[in-house]
Amino acid sequence: MADRTLYEKIWSSHVIRDYEDGSSLIYVDRHLLHEVSTPQSFLAMEEKGRTLHRRSANLAVPDHAVPTVDRHKPIADPLARAQTQRLIENVARHDIPFIPLDDLRQGIVHVVGPEQGFTLPGITLACGDSHTSTHGALGALAFGIGASECGIVMATQAIRQRRAKTMRVTVTGTRAPWITAKDIALTLIARIGANGASGHAIEYAGPVISAMSMAERMTLCNMSIESGARVGMIAPDETTFDYIAGRPLAPTGEMLERALAYWKTLHSDPGAVFDREVTIGVTGLAPVVTWGNSPEDVLPIDGCIPAPAAEPDATRRGRRERALSYMGLSAEAPIEGTPIDAVFIGSCTNGRLEDLRAAAAIATGRKVAPGVRAIVVPGSGLVGRQAEAEGLVEIFRTAGFEWRAAGCSMCVAMNGDRLEPGQRCASTSNRNFEGRQGAGGRTHLMSPAMAAAAAVTGCLTDVRKLVGAEA
Amino acid sequence: MKPFTTIESHAAYLPATNIDTDIIFPARYLLLLDREGLGQYLFRDRRYEDDGTPVPDFVLNRAPFTDAKVLIAGSGFGCGSSREQAVWALTGHGICCVIAPSFGEIFASNSLKNGLLPLILSEELTADLGARAKIGAIFTIDLQNRVLKVDGEAVAPIDIPEDQRQALLNGWDETDILVKEEGERIAAFEQSHRAAQPWLFLETRL
Ligand code: SF4
């Protein structure tokens, strides 16, 4: 057989049939559900009198709209309460495995799936959420879908799609301290553009990726959608297998042995041809932040805001001008030192234990700057418990950060955690779109350590300067 | 889904690139449980002031574009969040076709599930059509004959895969087709998949 890419291997092992028009019907092994994207999916399924295809292919958890405070009380916002209640009723009616809000395992779908062993190498996984690409970090073919498609997947366990083109992103070089997966993801998006990988499935490869922890791999795959790619993936290796072993829903014993034998075949063959190859060298990279309203608007922290006049294309020049005015920034000014009002550490991009450790390392012995509101939201209750056990929660509280219960929180600002108009936020989330963290709010994306550094200085800060040369 | 019929309408032009689904439909309205009635939230934060007064120079607030059925936009339209509400807001407002040089992928597939045609044309042609839209040209989207006309003159073929064209023209529901026509194939696939990777079929006990 000809040499194949990882994507092609997983894709072809899930094709139920190929149609003449070039699309295929593919089998979906796993479906993750949350409260926001599924009410209409259940309605559509039930209107037609259809039933759920296979119970154990599904896992549901509320995350987007849930409050991160006062979790022992009923949800205060009537709309959020109704939506969460709707999920409870829907999953009960179809006997879908469900993690309720008061369960320690509750959290953001993309943190919970891998954490519970629901996400496995070689599977197809769908969820009504664009950051489903996160799960590709385990060597899964995972992609976001819309609410109608969620209904289709629930009823049939299948979906009609076109095979994506493939793009390999090879990451080479030596990372300096404080250069995280987030910096690499943003650097890639800046390089290829917010639509640069549109129509492609990205595979991340190379020595820097092999050396990454699972949390970092998830950060990287998570951000794939911000370059337009529906899918980001990394070939499973010993790091992956170690991560999976012992997770509650992962196979054990002889079943695990069989699975491992298969999972070890899941890598791009040496002669596999990608439609596109991109190489990112990380040597000499500085920590980056975004300045505008697209994740491609990236600057090294020691850089200056680009001038619209320098952009020859009129449409892009217009977008830059609009972004500068929305963000309240001046062309050619240094980004470092820009005062902030808020800090958000969390989300499916950077709400895992290692992210909290990195932020806590900066918060240790320091205080949140006066006038800055900084919140830390763990990606799941289990992440939160571990953070508590390691003393991170104590560090955050002592430093003046608010410690919250798990959920999407200020990444999408649906649950009451949001910016006021004009407020500026150093955020570890994934989108700096206009109004993303609240109407009129201004978002700068960055790594957890950089966000923590901003919290303690009150402005966008080069974490390397803060900790000094010793780090 | 309603069958897609030939459209004749003004076109509203939003030249910006990367108009994401948060701009099309702000997240705070995702708490609503319905698919209907979302047209009022379309481009909410660009179309209206905080107090609900219309922003006078936003294209959908200006005659004759208030009831345009065609939207022309820059590349990357519908990037970002997978929220299908972005499509429901567009169709709820009466938009039947969006023309852009590229689309967010999930947005494009959501569109096709809801009778909204995402039409990809070159950057140059899109800008050219945008300029004509601005001065009030009438756009004809004739999906039956695969042709886009401006003021009665053919300007581009409508080049979309035949299955998608048929689904739009006939108003087909994809699940209906899967359930009716593919049930046996899905079951057969599942059986052999289960034999090959039995660890994927363990019963979930939380
Ligand atoms: S944390 Fe943000 S990006 Fe991730 S699933 Fe929640 S809302 Fe979406």
- DSSP string over A314-331: HHHHHHHHHHHHHHT--T
CA–CA dist A38, A45 (Å, integer):
10
Residue A337 falls inside a structural domain: yes
Residue A282 falls inside a structural domain: no
Two structure tokens written together for A310 = 């320098």
Q: Please report the pLDDT score of residue A394 as a whole number.
A: 98
pLDDT per residue over A135-178, tens digit each?
Answer: 999 999 999 999 999 999 999 999 999 999 999 999 999 999 99
**Average pLDDT, rounded, for chain B:** 95
For residues A207 and A100, membership in a common domain is answered with yes
- Helices A392-399 and A381-389: crossing angle in degrees, nearest 10, is 80
Two structure tokens written together for A325 = 């005015």
CA–CA dist A132, A357 (Å, integer):
24
Q: How many CA atoms lie within 13 A of A315 on its CB side?
A: 17
Question: What are the angstrom distances between the C-alpha of A307 and each of A291, A294, A441?
Answer: 12, 16, 22
**pTM, whole model, 2 decimals?**
0.96
For residues A261 and A312, membership in a common domain is answered with no
CA–CA dist A241, B169 (Å, integer):
48
Whether residue B29 is predicted with pLDDT greater than 60 in this model: the reply is yes
For residues A154 and A227, membership in a common domain is answered with yes
State how beta strands A424-427 and A402-403 pair. unpaired
CA–CA dist B45, B42 (Å, integer):
9
Q: Note whether A167 and A274 are within 8 A (CB).
A: yes
Q: Please report the pLDDT score of residue B176 as a whole number.
A: 82
- DSSP string over A103-131: STT-B-HHHHHHHHT-S-TT-EEEESSGG
Residue B178 pLDDT grade (very low, low, confident, very high; cuts 50, 70, 90): confident
Q: Whose CA is nearest to atom 2 of ligand 1?
A: A411
For residues A434 and A455, membership in a common domain is answered with yes
Q: Please report the pLDDT score of residue B2 as a whole number.
A: 86
Q: Tell me if chain B has a CB within 8 Å of the CB of A286.
A: no
For residues A65 and A160, membership in a common domain is answered with yes
Domain span holding position A341: 288-469
Q: Are B75 and A195 in contact (CB < 8 Å)?
A: yes
Q: Please report the pLDDT score of residue A469 as a whole number.
A: 45
Two structure tokens written together for A350 = 């950077």
For residues A270 and A126, membership in a common domain is answered with yes
Pocket of ligand 1 (CB under 6 A): A 63-64, 108, 110, 129, 131, 347-348, 408, 411-412, 429-430
Neighbours of A413 (CB within 10 A): 24
For residues A266 and A326, membership in a common domain is answered with no
Buried b (16+ CB within 10 A) or exposed e, B36-59: eebeebbbbbbbbeeeeeeeeeeb
Q: For A157, which of B186, B198, B205 is closest by C-beta distance?
A: B186
Q: Tell me if chain B has a CB within 8 Å of the CB of A81.
A: no
Q: Are B16 and A160 in contact (CB < 8 Å)?
A: no
Question: What are the angstrom distances between the C-alpha of A19 and each of A160, B168, B179, B185?
Answer: 9, 17, 16, 13
Residue A1 falls inside a structural domain: no
Listed by start position, the domains of chain B span 7-171
Q: Please report the pLDDT score of residue B59 as a whole number.
A: 97
For residues A377 and A450, membership in a common domain is answered with yes
Q: Are A158 and B197 in contact (CB < 8 Å)?
A: no
- Looking at residue B198, what DSSP letter applies? G
| Residue whose pair of structure tokens reads 């599904």 in the numeric block | A58
Q: Is A348 annotated as a binding residue?
A: yes
Which of A355, A411, A432, when mutated, tests ligand 1's pocket best, judged by the most ligand atoms within 8 Å of its CB?
A: A411
For residues A13 and A97, membership in a common domain is answered with yes
Please give the backbone phi and psi of residue A168, each rounded to the nearest 5 degrees, phi first: -100, 130
Task: Select from A276, A306, A327 the last residue of a domain.
Answer: A276
Q: Are A146 and B82 in contact (CB < 8 Å)?
A: yes
Any idea how long chain A is? 471
CA–CA dist A54, A155 (Å, integer):
8
Q: How many domains does chain A have?
A: 2
Task: Select from A255, A276, A297 the last residue of a domain.
Answer: A276
Two structure tokens written together for A227 = 């370059």
Whether residue B23 is predicted with pLDDT greater than 90 in this model: the reply is yes
Q: Which residues of B touch A29 (CB under 8 A)?
A: 200
Residue numbers of chain A with a pLDDT score lower than 70: 469-471
Q: For B113, which of A82, A148, A155 is closest by C-beta distance?
A: A148
- Looking at residue B95, what DSSP letter applies? -
Task: Select from A226, A248, A276 the last residue of a domain.
Answer: A276
For residues A402 and A456, membership in a common domain is answered with yes
For residues A206 and A105, membership in a common domain is answered with yes
Q: Please report the pLDDT score of residue A471 as a whole number.
A: 45
Two structure tokens written together for B77 = 């339209």
pLDDT per residue over B130-177, tens digit each?
Answer: 999 999 999 999 999 999 999 999 999 999 998 899 999 999 887 788
Cross-strand bridge partners of residue B70:
B11, B97
For residues A239 and A315, membership in a common domain is answered with no
Amino acid code (one letter) for A314: A
Residue A216 falls inside a structural domain: yes
Identify the architecture of domain B7-171 in CATH: Alpha-Beta Barrel (3.20)
Cross-strand bridge partners of residue A278:
A169
Q: Please report the pLDDT score of residue A175 as a whole number.
A: 96
Neighbours of B176 (CB within 10 A): 14
Residue A80 falls inside a structural domain: yes
ipTM of the complex in this document = 0.94
Residue A283 falls inside a structural domain: no
CA distance A470 to chain B (A): 39
CATH of the domain at A457: 3.30.499.10
Residue A336 falls inside a structural domain: yes
Atom of ligand 1 at shortest range from CA of A134? 4
